[in-house]
């Protein structure tokens, strides 16, 4: 096509970096070394990982995180980071693109993920400013070390995106994720052994029925609907521990184990749920955390009730999985699948 005709028919040109797959299809490029590429299709969800740009110090660390590790023996690695928002056919013309960008931080090798505290104390190595375009692309020359890329859109905006990271030499690239782990709390036990019907407790009102049913399941493997008195102090200490973690991350509600209506409705930002799990002796994968937010959070907030339900379901899923794992020769479920099933049960 002649240049004048091209200019007549087209008004916008998008420049894209060639991926290794396209490189292999072009014979003229076979003599050159292709760049290595890693890509992932992810989404931002309000209340979970739509934390916005780095000026939102409290929530930006909740954005999806991608780690780049340049080996120490290598020289500077030339890296291209591209973030593209997925095209949606149903969007109107005036809302075709939203503002997107990304931030890159240099982190210590032993640091598992970028946290809000780290963001508040450290300046980013570089960032792509927010632009109302389909794709933002930036070229870097990174020295040996560890780096974390945080793609972001405007805060609380839902949308899907594609992130591509290309390097001209070997560099390890992976999405930051965590294992599903809970640390069991050890509590004292009463010497007296007898059973108590759970409905006989005066605090078991209809308002708390769902929560106490989940809590009962932790110490009722026979599904008899009854709780041995020896397990009561263990569960109460566990509740105190969880409530103390919630109080550190949210509004103070006193030092006693009170479940009044005002305390029950206390709220914190749902973006802090990962920190709440850490403070409670648990970690969750990105998929599990997203499911917890969708199940127990409302309007980008989580109440004390929702948080306690989350912890009860996590502990129950771990106990169910390990019980099944010891009884069955071949467990057909993974731990993550068991947790997801328990969350929505």
Pairing verdict, β 159-167 and 66-70: unpaired
Cα 177-150-251 angle, rounded to 5 deg: 75
CATH code where residue 300 lies: 1.10.238.10
User: What's 256's DSSP letter?
Assistant: S
Q: CA 74 → CA 80, 140, 167, distances in Å?
A: 17, 15, 12
Write down the mean pLDDT value for the chain.
81
pTM above 0.85, yes or no: no
d(CA 304, CA 270): 11
190: β partners: none
Q: 203-230, pLDDT tens digit by residue?
A: 545 556 667 677 777 776 666 666 677 7
State yes or no: pLDDT of 64 exceeds 50: yes
Q: 303-316, pLDDT tens digit by residue?
A: 988 999 999 999 98
Contact in structure between 83 and 100 (CB atoms under 8 Å): yes
34 and 54 within one domain: yes
Q: Report CA 62 to chain centroid distance, whole Å.
A: 7
Q: Note whether residue 9 is domain-resident.
A: no
Q: Note whether residue 114 is domain-resident.
A: yes
Pairing verdict, β 77-85 and 159-167: antiparallel
Cα 37-40-165 angle, rounded to 5 deg: 35
Quote the domain boundaries for residue 26: 15-175
pLDDT band at 108 (very low <50, low <70, confident <90, very high): very high
Q: Note whether residue 276 is domain-resident.
A: yes
User: What's 39's DSSP letter?
Assistant: E
245 and 97 within one domain: no
């Amino acid at each position: 096509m002649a240049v004048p005709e091209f200019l007549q028919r087209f008004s916008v040109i998008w420049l894209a970096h060639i991926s290794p797959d396209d490189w292999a299809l072009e014979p003229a490029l076979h003599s050159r070394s292709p760049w290595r590429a890693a890509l992932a299709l992810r989404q931002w969800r309000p209340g979970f990982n739509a934390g916005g740009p780095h000026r939102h110090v409290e929530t930006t660390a909740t954005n999806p995180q991608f780690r780049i590790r340049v080996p120490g023996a290598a020289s500077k690695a030339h890296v291209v980071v591209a973030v593209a928002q997925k095209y949606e056919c149903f969007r109107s013309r005036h809302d075709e693109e939203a503002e997107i960008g990304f931030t890159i931080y240099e982190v210590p090798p032993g640091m598992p993920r970028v946290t809000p505290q780290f963001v508040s104390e450290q300046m980013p190595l570089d960032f792509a400013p927010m632009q109302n375009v389909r794709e933002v692309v930036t070229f870097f020359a990174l020295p040996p070390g560890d780096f974390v890329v945080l793609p972001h859109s405007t805060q609380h905006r839902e949308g899907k995106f594609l992130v591509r990271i290309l390097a001209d030499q070997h560099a390890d690239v992976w999405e930051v994720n965590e294992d599903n782990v809970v640390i069991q709390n050890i509590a004292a036990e009463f010497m007296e052994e007898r059973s108590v019907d759970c409905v006989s407790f005066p605090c078991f009102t209809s308002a708390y029925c769902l929560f106490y049913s989940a809590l009962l399941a932790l110490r009722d493997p026979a599904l008899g609907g009854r709780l041995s008195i020896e397990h009561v102090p263990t569960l109460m200490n566990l509740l105190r521990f969880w409530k103390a973690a919630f109080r550190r991350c949210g509004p103070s509600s006193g030092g006693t184990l009170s479940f009044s209506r005002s305390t029950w409705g206390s709220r914190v930002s749902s973006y802090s749920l990962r920190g709440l799990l850490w403070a409670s002796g648990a970690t969750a994968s990105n998929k599990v955390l997203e499911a917890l937010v969708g199940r127990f959070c409302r309007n980008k907030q989580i109440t004390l009730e929702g948080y306690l339900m989350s912890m009860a379901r996590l502990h129950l899923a771990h106990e169910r999985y390990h019980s099944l794992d010891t009884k069955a020769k071949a467990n057909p479920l993974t731990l993550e699948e068991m947790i997801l099933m328990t969350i929505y049960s």
